[in-house]
Amino acid sequence: MNERKFDSTPEIQILEIERDSIKFKLSNVDTSFANALRRIMIAEVPTMAIDLVEFEVNTSILNDEFLAHRLGLIPLTSSSVDEFRYTRDCDCELDDPCGKCSVILNLDVWNKSSGDQSMDRNAKTDAETQLVTSDHLKSADPRVTPVHSMDDDQDDTSHKILIAKLGPDQRLKFKAIAKKGFGQEHAKWSPVCVATYRFVPKIKISYQSPNSEKTQSAYSKIVDSCPARVFKMNQDRIEIENEDRCFFCEECTKKANELDAGINIAIESEPNTFVFSVESTGALKPTEIVLSALRILKEKLRAIHGRLPEDNDLIR
């Protein structure tokens, strides 16, 4: 078995961080480590999500199963998820979950407008329709509440996630039970909507022939061939302007070979370095997702290390 060596321990450099997303560079690791971290963020970081719904009244046009599925996909704040138990680890009864493993959310909305019975059903006004949104869900535990839209430039109405629309004299009443889980069991527990990584490009340009009017025209075509606008013309030379935008399409190298302009463009990836882009559903902060995934990965490695012979130093 060949042991791979790295110059130093893994390093993380935060490139960009916002309320619902984070971009960071991970160095001194191989692809297997990077992909393991990505998969853990998607499938193994625990959150809270609605798992069971007990309908008492539903006279809307949507059936119970459709609404239950929609409710499960509403993200719930889960920063305190570690304080809850998994249902399988709790000592309460399955048909009577306790506050240690679950949170109750109630909803009761009744559109009491009578409407005009003589009016064509397809011509009813918006004033007669009542929107049922995530804002109507009332949680018994303030630690676990619905997450609304995260766009600051939207008005207050659009911040609420639509559940159903009720016509005149229609009512929706139910009790929802949120439980702890992770994305490997169901996508509703996944804390991310995007978790990807890409290789870091390294571009080198070498010139093999003197400049001329012909080469200048060819250089301009090479610059224009790049869809990511990585290059720009600087007097009589091609200059790398946005190297990090390169996504290895190699259109520039194809154009350079096609025009035979005496220029060589080599695109490689920086070894053992990856740029991650992670976007949260709102259930957890992006930093919480990354830290939780790293902690889970560390626990997995520790479990493997504990089963290796004492004289094996592959994992520290």
Residues 132 and 67: beta-carbon distance below 8 Å:
no
Share of the chain above pLDDT 70, in %: 87
**Residue 106 structure tokens:** 């109630």
Kindly state the helix (H) or strand (E) to which residue 240 belongs, with its residue range.
strand 237-240
pLDDT of residue 285: 96
More confident call, 29 vs 119: 29
53, 150: one domain: yes
- Residue holding tokens 């990584």? 197
The pLDDT confidence band at residue 120, using thresholds 50, 70 and 90, is very low
Over range 80-88, report the average pLDDT: 94
- Does residue 245 form part of some domain? yes
Distance between CA atoms of 257 and 264, rounded to whole angstroms?
8
Q: What share of the chain is helix, strand, coil (3-state, %, to 5)?
A: 30, 35, 40
Angle at 157 between CA 154 and CA 158, to 5 degrees: 50
* Residue 158, in any domain of the structure: yes
- Whether residue 234 is contained in a domain is answered as yes
| Residue finishing a domain among 245, 261, 277 | 261
Residues 236 and 108 in one domain: no
Model confidence at 1, pLDDT cuts 50, 70, 90, reads: very low
In angstroms, rounded to a whole number, what is the distance separating the alpha carbons of residues 289 and 19? 12
CA torsion angle for 57, 58, 59, 64 (degrees, to 10)? Answer: -150
pLDDT, greater one: 283 or 213:
283
Q: Evaluate whether 138 touches 107 at the Cβ level (below 8 Å).
A: yes
Segment 39-55, tens digit of pLDDT: 999 999 999 999 999 99
- Block residue for tokens 């007990």: 54
Between vectors from CA 276 to CA 270 and to CA 19, what angle results, nearest 5°? 145
Tell whether 79 and 137 lie within a shared domain. yes
Q: What is the mean pLDDT of the chain?
A: 88
Token pair recorded at residue 185: 């069991």
Asked whether residue 145 carries a pLDDT value surpassing 80, the answer given is yes
Provide the token pair at 32.
């297997």
State residue 127's pLDDT score.
Answer: 65
Under a CB-based contact definition with an 8 Å cutoff, are residues 6 and 13 in contact? no
The per-residue pLDDT for range 86-115, each reduced to its tens digit, is 999 988 887 788 989 999 999 999 998 876
**Measuring CA to CA, which residue among 266, 274, 222, 271 is closest to residue 248?**
266
Q: Using one digit for the tens of pLDDT, what is the confidence trace for 158-206? A: 578 999 999 999 999 999 999 999 999 999 999 999 999 999 999 999 8
pLDDT tens, position by position, 194-244: 999 999 999 999 888 766 667 888 889 999 999 999 999 988 888 999 998
pLDDT in tens, 123-138: 455 668 999 999 999 9
Contact 225, 251 (CB under 8 A): yes
Residue 235, domain CATH: 3.30.70.20
Q: How many CA atoms lie within 13 A of 7 on its CB side?
A: 6
Q: 126: domain range? A: 47-189
182, 245: one domain:
no
Q: Is pLDDT above 50 for 247?
A: yes
Q: Is residue 129 in a domain?
A: yes
- Going from the C-alpha of 291 to that of each of 15, 44, 179, 281, the distances in angstroms are 16, 12, 22, 16
The domain boundary, picked from 189, 219, 242, lies at 189
Q: Among residues 272, 161, 260, which one has the least CA distance to residue 215? A: 260
Tell whether 176 and 236 lie within a shared domain. Answer: no
Co-location of 53 and 125 in the same domain: yes
CATH number at residue 89: 2.170.120.12
Q: Mean per-residue pLDDT for 62-77?
A: 96
Q: Residue 251's pLDDT band (boundaries 50, 70, 90)? A: very high
As given in the structure block, the two tokens for residue 165 are: 């629309």
What total of structural domains would you count in the chain? 2
Amino acid identity, position 258: E
CA atoms of 284 and 146, how far apart (whole Å): 12
In which element (H, E) is residue 177 found?
strand 171-181
